[in-house]
Structure 1
Amino acid sequence: MNGPALPDHSPSSASWRIALPHTAAAVPVARALVRTALAELEHAADSDTAELLTAELVANAVEHTRGDSPIELVVELLPTGCQVEVHDRDPAPPGNLTRPVPGDLDPWQEHGRGLLLIRTLSSSCGHRATDSGKAVWFRLHAVPGRRGPS
């Protein structure tokens, strides 16, 4: 990792950005960062869902992109929810993230459900080109009436 995550606190939002190794070890670190970010501000987004979807994005970046360049996790907390992005150096889009492909998922396969989970459980998701590759993201709305982790 390239140093600690740096929170950017403002009255209406906060964000964290951290470089993660291009290995499976990045997944639990990313989950912990999201959990900590949501707990620190007593944020009302669902932490369990945010952790699960973050793990899927990071695992996909590690598994489906080449090289050993770090990947980057960006967590942004907003008054209406949160957005999580994973940046990698591969400019290729992440398969069928925003649109399912008919017959795409075999329920008996061990792999292949990550993008389905992201599409199903997030309020929105997508990807965008960056100067150094791409960012894949999802958003979660705040849970009404919830003041943060219990």
Structure 2
Amino acid sequence: MPPDSPTHPPSSSPGAWRIALPHSTAAVPIARALVRTALADIDMSADCDTAELLTAELVANAVEHTGGAGPIELVVELMATGCQVEVHDRDPEPPGDLSRPGPGSEPDPWQEHGRGLLLIRTLSSACGHRATEHGKAVWFTLPAIPAQPGPSPRS
């Protein structure tokens, strides 16, 4: 299978996808499409719009704030309790502060950048980062939302 094709690793989770993304801004729409497709595959999913937004923020941060060596990897794991999205890059430096904001830690409203991590902290049920063998993974989780019943068929 080509390195940029989604793979389904052996896992006990309802679904997991792993894809290598280019280290360019083209990675953002690819990542959004993969998350939307993954969440459409299950009945009990997380908020797709929020998942897409937060994934786009993580991927854009990886492209902007890490060196261009090596691909970025997107991992989407669907769980009975929701979903977890991870973005792996080759830079071992941790991202900005993913802990809950304290007084005075809000971004400057006049600055063009600096709101991505705030969105991730605010809209996810959990988020963080961890060291990996080749750099780091930055992640967030979203809780499951029960599927809405569709219209009942008419006789």
Instruction: Report SS of the residue matched to 2:67.
Output: coil
Matched letter for residue 121 of structure 1: L
Is 1:88 matched up with 2:89? yes
Gaps of 5+ in 2: 150-155
Q: Give the gaps of 5 or more residues in structure 1.
A: none
Amino acid across the alignment from 2:39 = L
- 1:78 partner letter: M
SS in 2 for 1:52: helix
- Aligned to 2:99, what secondary structure does the other structure show? coil
1 CA distance for matches of 2:69 and 2:92?
15
Q: CA deviation at 1:9?
A: 7.3
Bigger relative contact order, structure 1 or 2 (CA pairs below 8 A, ≥6 apart): 1
What TM-score results when the alignment is normalised by the length of structure 1? 0.90
Q: Name the % identity.
A: 69
- Partner in structure 2 of residue 38 of structure 1: 39
CA distance in 2, matches of 1:3, 1:103: 38
Q: What is the CA RMSD across the aligned residues, in angstroms?
A: 2.0
The residue correspondences of 1:98-137 to structure 2 (distance < 5 A) are 98-100=99-101, 102-137=104-139
Aligned mates of 2:66, 2:95 — CA distance in 1: 10
Q: Please state whether the residue corresponding to 2:107 is helix, strand or coil.
A: coil
Q: 4+ residue stretches of structure 1 with deviation over 3 A?
A: 8-12
The count of aligned residue pairs is 147
Q: How far apart are the structure 2 equivalents of 1:4 and 1:81?
A: 24
The change in CA–CA distance for 1:130 and 1:11 in structure 2 (over 3 A counts) is: closer
Counterparts of residues 30-69 of structure 1 (less than 5 Å): 30-69=31-70
Residue 119 of structure 1 aligns to a residue in which SS? helix
Match of 1:67, as an amino acid? G
Amino acid at match of 1:59: A
Q: How far, CA to CA, are the matches of 1:68 and 1:12 in structure 2? A: 31
